[in-house]
Amino acid sequence: MTGSSGSQVAVRVPLDPGEPVDPFTLAGEHGVIFHSGAHVRVGLGRSRTLALPRGLDGIDDLAAATGAVVTIPCDDRHGSRTGPVVAFGALPFDRPAAAHLVIPEIIYGRDGDDEWVTVVTSSPTRSPGLPPGGARRWLQQRAAAVPRSGGGGGGARVVPRSSDASFRDMVVAALDAIGRGELAKVVVARHMDVHLGRPVDRPRLLRRWHDLEPNATVFSVPTGRGHFLGASPELLVERCGSTVRSRPLAGTAERRGGAGPGLLPEALLDSPKDANEHRLVVTAIADSLRPLCDHLNVPEHPDLVVLRNIVHLGSALEGTLTPRSDGTVPDALALAGALHPTPAVGGVPPLAARALIDRLEPEPRGHYAGPVGYVDSRGDGRWMVGIRAMTVRGADARLSAGVGIVDGSVPDIELVETNLKLTAVLDALVPGLTPPTPAGSRASAT
């Protein structure tokens, strides 16, 4: 880790009345943003980096990272129930891969109508400066001063990282392993690159993505490979006090014909194949959470999660965490470490699935399907599954999409499902741009 909690202080104040702060403009080209409807977090600058050299496998490192956030003294003039200091991160899919969290210098938060800003400084002798009674104008001036890139999308070129035939072969190999009884489910992923004519305008892209997918969490986090950004519909875990929530998705169908309840693919609820895939995910998450909870509510049946071009089966799990001997409960980062990877992005059993993924997929997933989110100084936080996402560097973007393979999966249908998921990302990046779809194939709930 860089720095120490003893050398940092923070001040949090409420925002004075006035025009709403645009979080996408405020985050700009280099900031961090998490936008989940009424709940927004934006981070600017870097006050401290918290290293996770062993990734999610370093349990002590996870505890130390959260401890570093918790122990930063804060002059909280706001009195909110949320933690005033926040550490953000995009963690790789591979559990042992090195990662880090970042505590920004400036943190803007919004929970419904409640807005606040926290400033963190590494100098205990210098009070973090916020203009008295003018924090909103100060933020808006910062947002207005953020330089903008030229846009992006002119002459976009899509380059698949693997062929359709090689992906079908991966699905066939996965089905063979399932048929031999080696595992019950595995998620296989494919990747593609998009080369644009000019750098991506990230604030504009994220605002458009929010408009396209209002039921998703829009995020952008700087990483060593660029910016990992997306609109994830899948909640890995959320902690608020002693309450823990997870919202796994598994089972997919195409949403056809536009909006309206009569046009939803209700047959997805009656699909044995998708029901089995979903049940495997929910069971695994419930098995991981039950030892940590006094009680856990697990729905008997999934519901439909409706996105712009896709519908998923989803289940909302909620429980009350059991206090440990010292009276504390696991923090949000520790809970993410306990759950990742769920069978929604890995498989069942997890070790066999991971071994098969390593054997079948031609390259590492990077941040795709890894946890992306934050933990605050109360130990609360929200971690999404990093899907419907891309890594952007300059004028280049790397996109990924995965599908769950179980007994009954059909290679051609799984290929089309990856195209549906990639289309959801491509359409945010370059409206109207879609991957090639095999003739005569459509995604199905059967």
Q: Which residues are catalytic?
A: 185, 234
- CA of 350: how far to CAs of 39, 112, 327, 353, in Å? 32, 38, 31, 5
Place of tokens 């919202």: 247
- Tell me how far apart the alpha carbons of residues 406 and 175 are, in angstroms, rounded to a whole number: 7
- What is the maximal distance between C-alpha atoms in the chain? 68
Backbone angles phi, psi at 189, to 5 degrees: -125, 155
Cβ atoms of 43 and 101 within 8 Å: the answer is no
| Helix, strand, coil percentages, rounded to 5, for the chain | 30, 30, 40
| Sheet with 317-321: strands ordered across | 48-52, 99-103, 86-90, 371-376, 381-385, 235-240, 243-247, 317-321, 293-297
- CA of 157: how far to CAs of 163, 196, 313, 395, in Å? 16, 6, 33, 11
C-alpha neighbours within 13 Å on the C-beta side of residue 95: 17
Backbone angles phi, psi at 2, to 5 degrees: -100, 140
